[in-house]
Amino acid sequence: KSLRGLGMELRCRCIETESQIQIRPHIRKVEIIPANSHCEESEIIATLRGTGLEVCLDPEAQWVKKVIERMMSR
Amino acid sequence: KSLRGLGMELRCRCIETESQIQIRPHIRKVEIIPANSHCEESEIIATLRGTGLEVCLDPEAQWVKKVIERMMSR
């Protein structure tokens, strides 16, 4: 769940992804970074309310896709 | 297309949204901020490659939804 450096995305920022759907109500915003020359996989980084903690989410997980869909429609 | 302050999202960050689909290949990443107590509308902010310029996108626009879907699947 930790992130490496928060540089200009010169490499993947996620080491592992958070699978706990319980964090859903605590998500303040998400950042989506498509696969690029520095990182082969697209990454989704959620910032949590209150703590401002950054957590990586699995772009393939259905619940993550739903969260993002809902965030865009409200 | 300008953004107000980049504070802790204490208000809406977007004044207007970019409707030019041409910016699509230039998007390095997107940030999705759901409606919250400070801003009634969900906001999508794209960061462009190279310049790092931040541009607001319309969450309702079909091309924006497609861009985000594609970003998550690669």
What pLDDT was estimated at residue A14? 93
Checking if the pLDDT of A21 tops 90, the result is: no
Nearest to B30 by CA among B61, B6, B54, B1: B54
Work out the average pLDDT over B64-68: 93
What pLDDT was estimated at residue B11? 86
pLDDT tier at B3, thresholds 50, 70, 90: low
B72 closest CB neighbour out of A28, A29, A42: A42
The answer to whether B48 faces chain A, any CB pair under 8 Å, is: no
A73: chain B residues, CB-CB within 8 Å: 42, 59
What's the rounded Cα separation, in Å, for the pair B30 and B57? 9
Question: Which residues pair with residue B39 across a beta bridge?
Answer: B36
CA distance B64 to chain A (A): 10
Work out the average pLDDT over A22-49: 92
What pLDDT was estimated at residue B9? 61
Place of tokens 């594609």: B70
Phi-psi map region of A52: left, alpha, beta (phi>0 left; psi -120 to 50 alpha): left
> How far, CA to CA in Å, does A27 sit from each of A67, B17, B25, B29, B32?
9, 23, 28, 18, 11
End-to-end, the C-alpha distance of chain B in Å comes to 28
User: B72 and A68: CB-CB below 8 Å?
Assistant: yes
CA distance B29 to chain A (A): 5
ipTM of this complex prediction, to 2 decimal places: 0.82
User: B74 and A34: CB-CB below 8 Å?
Assistant: yes
